[in-house]
Amino acid sequence: MSADDLMARVSATLPGSRARVIVHRDGRTRTVEVEVEELPLAITTREELRSEDSANFGLSLGDSRDGSFVRRVEDDSPAAEAGIEEGDIVRKVNRRIVHTAAEATRELQRVQVGHPTFVVVWRGGRETLVEMQRD
């Protein structure tokens, strides 16, 4: 399983769920029982929302029948560094399902500078989880 596959599985698991994880390290195999916890995300209040659009992550979003799609990704932006590509369909922002560019932008605006945000995009027939951070 790749690191991307692991991140996707963990992000799709509800907090409080228990799972067995098999760890291979230094030629030894070990099984560990874990409980998935909520990732504390630093979210601003409604009053603190910035008026800027999703451009502060370096991407421009639009609407399509499939949902919010990435129109443009600025070079050297947080979105570009995270691997978001033009044409990606944004499905979730910090575990919240989004259907429109406005919904995705609203969720992105809630993330404080310097804190991570997790975005699930649909690309090439599969979901991909990316992490990015507003500078």
Report the domain count for the chain: 2
- Does 64 have pLDDT greater than 50? yes
The predicted pLDDT at position 114 comes to 83
Give the model confidence (pLDDT) of 7-45 as tens digits: 667 666 777 888 888 888 889 999 988 887 766 554 444
Asked if residue 89 and residue 33 are part of one domain, the reply reads no
Residue 27 domain boundaries: 1-38
Handedness of CA 67, 71, 45, 77 (dihedral sign): positive
Q: Is the pTM of this model over 0.75?
A: no
Calculated CA dihedral for residues 44, 45, 47, 49, nearest 10 degrees:
40
Residues 118 and 53 reside in one and the same domain: yes
